[in-house]
Amino acid sequence: MSESKSADVRHVELELEDFAPNTGPGVQTSPSSSVQLPPIPWKIFALSVFLAISGLTLVILGCVDKVRKSDPGNGLSFWLTGGLVFIPGAFYTVKLITAWRSSDPEERMQILGDVPT
């Protein structure tokens, strides 16, 4: 039985060696250990922030257009378009920030699995 237990321990040690820290750009390590964390997709993060800011800008323009009362339909179209752009942008921005802040590689992989690439 002790042989089986030592074989399991060796197997776990070999798995941890696979996550050895890398010195490449964009690679983070967990502060509590030297386990390598999966990288954050920065292009997708930039796109999601762009969508959130664009959607918020369109919603604000819709409010301004509604206040000016030039054409009630214009304000509504800005609101709808802004909402459709803002909601996914804000959702994925929050998801990616949560993944960036996590220090557990398994948790980060689970969060990044929900983000389209």
Q: Would 44 be classed as within a structural domain?
A: yes
The low-confidence residues of the chain, meaning pLDDT below 50, are: 6-23
| pLDDT at residue 50 in the model | 98
| pLDDT at residue 9 in the model | 45
State the total domains in the chain: 1
Domain containing 95: what range? 40-117
Whole-model pTM: value is 0.66
Measured between alpha carbons, how far is 111 from 96 in angstroms, rounded to an integer? 8
Q: Would 93 be classed as within a structural domain?
A: yes
Comparing C-alpha atoms, which of 75, 53, 54, 80 is closest to residue 64? Answer: 75
| pLDDT at residue 64 in the model | 84
Measured between alpha carbons, how far is 98 from 3 in angstroms, rounded to an integer? 41
Q: Would 34 be classed as within a structural domain?
A: no
| pLDDT at residue 31 in the model | 57
Q: Would 85 be classed as within a structural domain?
A: yes
Do 108 and 102 contact (CB within 8 A), yes or no?
Answer: yes
| pLDDT at residue 7 in the model | 46
